[in-house]
Amino acid sequence: MKIIICGSISAAEEILSAKKKLEDMRYEVEIPEGVKNLELRGRTEVSVEEKAEDKIKHDLIRGYFEKMKNYDVVLVVNPEKRGVQGYVGGNTLIEMAFGHVLGKKLYVLNPLPELSYTSEILAMQPVVINGNLSMIH
């Protein structure tokens, strides 16, 4: 099975950890370009405008959509961020929607947070696996 991981660049350590564990379980795994690219990974504290420029320059949004077409499952890695347990940011929400529209099975690593768009996340019917990667199938 082929798994594509979505999550904030600030969750790079958690994403890389999940990738290793899934690869040890013999899955093929793709991770966000911002996690693979050390230059982008180091730019988490730049302005909103600079983040947008990075996404445009590297075609990150469209690029991940195109990659997602070739994967079976979407895993959202959603650790705590800015005091919000299970944080799902705007970019990750977009990627979840891509997966949903493409008919991919959606898994979320940690319980979902209470956010203004939690109903949209719930409507995509992701499976919350509470950190248990063996629940992905």
**Residues across the chain:** 137
**Contact by Cβ (8 Å): 72, 1:** yes
In which order are the strands placed within the sheet that holds 28-30? 28-30, 2-6, 73-76, 105-108, 127-128
Structure tokens at 123: 């409507």
Fold classification of 2-135 is Rossmann fold (3.40.50)
Those residues whose C-beta lies under 8 Å from the C-beta of residue 137, and which sit 6 or more positions away, are: 1
* β-strand partners of 70: none
CA distances from 49 to 40, 91, 114 (A): 14, 15, 27
Q: What are the extents of the domains in the chain?
A: 2-135
Per-position pLDDT tens, the chain of length 137: 999 999 988 899 999 999 999 999 999 999 998 898 777 666 666 788 888 887 888 788 888 999 999 999 999 999 999 899 999 999 999 999 999 999 999 999 999 999 999 999 999 999 999 999 999 99
- The rounded radius of gyration (Å) of the Cα atoms in the chain is 14
Element (H, E) at 2: strand 2-6
